[in-house]
Amino acid sequence: VAKTSLTSPPWPEVKLPDPVEETKYHAEVVRKVNGLISTGEYGRLFAVVHFASKQWKITSEDLIMMDNVLEAQCGDRIRMEKVLLVGADDFTLIGRPLLGKDLVRVEATVIEKTESWPKVNMHFWKRHNVQRKKIIVNPQTVLRINTIEIYPCLS
């Protein structure tokens, strides 16, 4: 059969490796990463956390503000579950879609609960003598991420 421009797909053909070798390689990588975590050779950890219907990329000692009211008082320590990704300098742990709770621990404290700046909500319709003005003030909470810890229990 003659070869036309549509016989083979335009992307380069990828050969998948052997499944047995693949599993061996996976086990090797997991053992190495576990060893690294248990010896504690990682520097700064960052994590992607789903919180207040938004995904944040957080490291330790950084500030986050949300536009809602949390039920915790000022100064309470909060543990964040729903961690999607954890990474360090040499390795990243990607969850599908979440990582296990016995693997990562993200702690934060509530620093302040203020209100936002007064936003103006105005409707004006010209030549119709219609206008409406409302000032909206949202409650906000500020959190500070204290620590992100990982434990060597991969599989």
Partner 1 sequence: RYVRQLQRLQLLFSPTAADARGARQFVEEAAQDFARQHPDVVLYVSPHAGPGPAPVLRAEYLNGTVREELIASKTSEEIVQLATKLANQSGLDIIRIRKPFHTNNPSVQGQWHPLTNKPSILTVQGPCLQPQ
- Over 59-85, what HEC string results? ECCCEEEECCCCCCCCCCEEEECCEEE
CB of 24 to partner 1, least distance (A): 26
By the rule CB under 8 A, 88 interacts with partner 1? yes
For residue 64, state whether it binds partner 1 (rule: CB under 8 A).
yes
Q: How many angstroms separate the CA atoms of 150 and 60, rounded?
A: 13
- Residue type for position 80: M
87 DSSP β-pair partners: 46, 92
- 12 interacts with partner 1 by CB under 8 A: no
Q: Verify binding: residue 28, partner 1, rule CB under 8 A.
A: no
Q: Are 78 and 143 in contact (CB under 8 A)?
A: yes
Nearer to partner 1, 22 or 112 (CB): 112
Rule CB under 8 A: say whether 138 interacts with partner 1: no
**Chain residues in the site for partner 1 (CB under 8 A):** 43-46, 56, 58-59, 61-67, 74-75, 87-89, 92, 109, 111-118, 142
